[in-house]
Amino acid sequence: MNDSSRPEFWDQRYASQRTPWDFGGVPLALRKFLSHEPPASVLIPGCGTGYEAKTFSVAGWKVDAVDFSEEAVRCAHASLGKADAGLVRHGDFFEPNTRGPFDLIYERTFLCSLPTDLWPRYAAQVWHSLRPEGRLVGFFFLGPEPDPPPHALGEEGLAQLLGDAFERIEDEPVTDSLPLFDGKERWQIWKKK
Ligand SMILES: C[S@@+](CC[C@H](N)C(=O)[O-])C[C@H]1O[C@@H](n2cnc3c(N)ncnc32)[C@H](O)[C@@H]1O
């Protein structure tokens, strides 16, 4: 199973603990962001083990964290514990979401894990899931990457994908990247036009 658009692809990886993207916690840039942002609503697509879901929730945010891999959701529920398991649900980001529109969408290693032909659908779904002037916030994998996934977006590719419908309002280096992403990812904020 080599098709990352299928849940089975991810089930296999979570079940065999081959998850080199898993941060095991919450990256510094997100913790900094949350320290100065008033709470609102956030969608976390492809949330995986879901550490960030709890961090947003503890900071007072209304959270919808979704993953279409049953194994990922199982891992998330195990890591979050009974009290917070409800923060993460099984579902497909590309299906209509009645919980929105959201103030924020948090991105980490979801976009770069999708086959590149799904990227325009990702951009459209993010746009439709955000309220006016809502923001797409998080980590963007620019690459290079000789052996995808993760698929490198490149500076130009990302601007092409998001630039028409969003304005980039923040762009910072990442200081605590995992080896897989080291020197190849940026913390960015894109505001819906
Ligand atoms: C590389 S992992 C990243 C997980 C998490 N964001 C993290 O930072 O650890 C990509 C995740 O996206 C999920 N995924 C892929 N396509 C999806 C879709 N259409 N809807 C929901 N989740 C999806 C996979 O199951 C997997 O958990």
The whole-number mean pLDDT for each consecutive block of 10 residues of the chain, a chain of 193 residues, reads 91 97 97 98 97 97 98 96 93 96 98 97 98 98 94 97 98 97 98 97
Roughly what angle, to the nearest 10 degrees, separates helices 51-58 and 70-80?
50
Of 93, 91, 186, 183, whose CA–CA distance to 145 is shortest? 183
User: So where are the chain's domains?
Assistant: 7-16+30-192
- pLDDT number for residue 2: 85
User: What distance in angstroms lies between residue 41's CA and the mean position of ligand 1's atoms?
Assistant: 20
Output the six-digit token pair for 105: 């969408």
Instruction: Enter the CATH code of domain 7-16+30-192.
Output: 3.40.50.150
Q: What are the start-end ranges of the E strands in 21-97? A: 41-45, 62-67, 88-90
Q: Is 72 in the pocket of ligand 1 (CB under 6 A)?
A: yes
Atom of ligand 1 nearest to the CA of 11: 25
Atom 25 (ligand 1) nearest CA = 69
Distance in angstroms (rounded) separating the CA atoms of residues 155 and 56: 28
The SS3 assignment for 49 reads: coil
- pLDDT number for residue 83: 87
